């Protein structure tokens, strides 16, 4: 009797163990298709399952990734090798290894750069609890471009990891170095990292934070007029983007902050450059609907002009709904340190919806100004302002008189003109002097403009007779 029970128990366990990969495969396919659906919610990507053949211990699948691009959508075929668990080799629900499957001419290009290696591999482990762990990798390459031996490419590879659970996740990527160079110019990207955390807020709407950083971004490109190489060099570059739910339910806040320790262009250099922008109180439903409609256009195979026209039509249709939520736009920070001094600036605009659905805004843009509050503030070092005005005045004189004449007299005229311009701006109240800086504050309150606290009669300033700010 005991032997019979033992044999029966062994048979049940063996049967369960043999059946486990099959049931794991069912769950793995479900998770696979859920992942495809989630990836398709990206505004510029669409992923479609072409084939999924599930066996007992594994599965083979193919999908097609369509990336929205100006003029023509880019299609990439993907192959997926699925191993069902739990087994000693796969101690999880399943493991999915995804690689691109280039065809035709694209395959020859991939072979040139990577040989028999996959250009990118995504190794995804789906845990028994549903959590997923992703490892991304790309092999390195150094050599000439296919069909262009004069162009040298250095690609140090890519490494990344991701963690996903339910409707949230994190993703970290690292690219040590990318360099492309020939006699026409060069491109260099060093020490690049990306950290991102996100969560699904609603269907088709993901919120979270993304941080991009690069130790150096440098380019040399030909000047359109002279043909000489012009250098553009950024050091200590960082970009943070945040999308979150606003304090009021049903609305979203978005922010971006770009910064660079050093920026050089054509011999001019600035330090500690910062640019911050925010969009606040965006109507969630109108934003989601607009994004979904634009995404369909971007992934369609349309020429650039037709795609732009359709996107513009969508924005015209959705703009009243976005405005009715009383959104705010802000340039939270624009700052840099130059050789002649520092510059600081900020601006903010608020649209006040009145329940009318923003009717007539597109037909009569003046109505937008009647619902708008805005203010801007700048503060710049005197030497910096003087240098900028002198450069502009010098260029104007050269356009008007050419290179003829006494250069010493021309410089004296430049200095005299700039002094007169600054004196006039101070006298009219357009700028104020704060120690060694010039400053200005401009405010717009639903049709009324003021500069440094002084109301400005737009009609008089523009030659009108009644002083009305708006028609």
Please, are residues 40 and 63 in contact by the beta-carbon 8 Å criterion?
no
The reply to whether 417 falls in a domain is yes
Domain edge (last residue) among 79, 107, 139: 139
Q: For position 228, what pLDDT does the model report? A: 80
Among the residue ranges 20-24, 56-60, 420-424, the one predicted with the least confidence is 20-24
The reply to whether 366 falls in a domain is no
Neighbours of 4 (CB within 10 A): 8
The reply to whether 419 falls in a domain is yes
Span 166-192, pLDDT tens digits: 888 999 999 999 999 998 889 999 999
Span 377-417, pLDDT tens digits: 999 999 999 999 999 998 888 877 766 667 888 889 999 99
**Is the predicted pLDDT of residue 16 greater than 80, yes or no?**
no
Count Cα atoms within 13 angstroms, Cβ side, for 462: 12
Domain edge (last residue) among 78, 106, 139: 139
The reply to whether 50 falls in a domain is yes
- How sure is the predictor about 468, in pLDDT bands with cuts at 50, 70 and 90? very low
Output DSSP code: residue 33: H
Task: Determine the structural domain holding residue 450 and report its residue range.
Answer: 380-461
The reply to whether 284 falls in a domain is no
Q: At what angle do helices 407-427 and 382-401 cross, to 10 degrees?
A: 130
Per-residue burial over 32-58, b = 16 or more CB atoms within 10 Å of its CB, e = otherwise: beebbeeebbbeebbbebeebebeebb
**Is the predicted pLDDT of residue 266 greater than 90, yes or no?**
no
Give mean pLDDT, residues 235-255: 94
Four-CA torsion 365, 369, 370, 372, nearest 10 degrees: 130
H or E element: which one contains 62? strand 58-67
The reply to whether 124 falls in a domain is yes
Indicate yes or no: pTM above 0.85: no
The reply to whether 430 falls in a domain is yes
**Is the predicted pLDDT of residue 17 greater than 60, yes or no?**
no
Count Cα atoms within 13 angstroms, Cβ side, for 256: 8
Per-residue burial over 296-320, b = 16 or more CB atoms within 10 Å of its CB, e = otherwise: ebbbeebeeeebeebbeebeeebbb
The reply to whether 242 falls in a domain is no
**Is the predicted pLDDT of residue 71 greater than 80, yes or no?**
no
Domain edge (last residue) among 115, 139, 163: 139
Which has the higher per-residue pLDDT, 291 or 471?
A: 291
Q: For position 176, what pLDDT does the model report? A: 96
Span 82-103, pLDDT tens digits: 998 887 777 888 899 999 998 8
Neighbours of 146 (CB within 10 A): 15
Q: Domain count of the chain?
A: 2
d(CA 374, CA 347): 7
């Amino acid at each position: 009797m005991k032997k019979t029970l033992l044999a029966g128990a062994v048979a049940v366990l063996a049967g369960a163990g043999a059946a486990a990969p099959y049931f794991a495969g069912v769950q793995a396919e479900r998770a696979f298709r859920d992942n495809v659906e989630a990836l398709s919610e990206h505004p510029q990507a669409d992923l479609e399952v072409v084939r999924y053949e599930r066996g007992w211990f594994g599965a083979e699948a193919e999908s097609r990734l369509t990336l929205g691009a100006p003029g023509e959508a880019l299609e990439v075929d993907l192959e997926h090798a699925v191993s069902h668990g739990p087994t000693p080799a796969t101690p999880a629900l399943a493991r999915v290894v995804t690689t691109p499957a280039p065809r035709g001419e694209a395959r020859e290009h991939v072979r040139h750069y990577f040989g028999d290696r996959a250009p990118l591999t995504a190794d995804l482990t789906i845990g028994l609890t549903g959590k997923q762990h992703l490892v991304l990798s790309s092999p390195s390459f150094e050599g000439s471009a296919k069909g262009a031996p004069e162009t040298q490419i250095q690609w140090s590879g890519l490494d990344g990891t991701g963690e996903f659970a339910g409707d949230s996740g994190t993703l970290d990527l690292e690219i040590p170095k990318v360099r492309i160079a020939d006699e026409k110019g060069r491109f260099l990207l060093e020490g690049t990292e990306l950290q991102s955390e996100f969560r699904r807020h609603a269907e088709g709407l993901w919120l979270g934070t993304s941080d991009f950083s690069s130790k150096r971004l440098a380019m040399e490109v030909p000047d359109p007029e002279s043909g000489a190489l012009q250098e553009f060099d950024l050091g200590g570059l960082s970009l943070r983007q945040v999308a979150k739910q606003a304090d009021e339910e049903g609305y979203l806040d978005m922010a971006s902050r770009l910064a660079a320790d050093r920026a050089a262009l054509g011999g001019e250099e600035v330090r500690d450059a910062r640019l911050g922008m925010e969009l606040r109180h965006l109507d969630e439903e109108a934003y989601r609907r607009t994004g979904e409609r634009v995404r369909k256009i971007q992934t369609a195979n349309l020429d650039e002009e037709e795609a732009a026209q359709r996107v513009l039509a969508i924005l015209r249709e959705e703009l009243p709904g976005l405005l009715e939520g009383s959104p705010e736009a802000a340039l939270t920070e624009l700052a840099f340190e130059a050789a002649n001094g520092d510059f600081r600036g900020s601006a903010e605009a608020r649209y006040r919806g009145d329940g009318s659905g923003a009717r007539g805004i597109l037909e009569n843009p003046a109505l937008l100004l009647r619902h708008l509050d805005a203010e801007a503030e700048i503060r710049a070092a005197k030497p910096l302002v003087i240098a900028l005005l002198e450069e502009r005045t010098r260029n104007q004189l050269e356009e008007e008189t050419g290179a003829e004449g006494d250069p010493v007299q021309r410089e004296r005229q430049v200095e005299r003109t700039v002094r007169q311009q600054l004196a006039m701006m101070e006298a009219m109240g357009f700028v104020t002097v704060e120690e060694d800086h010039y400053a200005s504050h401009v405010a717009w309150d639903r049709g009324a403009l003021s500069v440094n606290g002084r109301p400005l009669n737009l009609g008089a300033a523009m030659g009108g007779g009644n002083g009305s700010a708006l028609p």
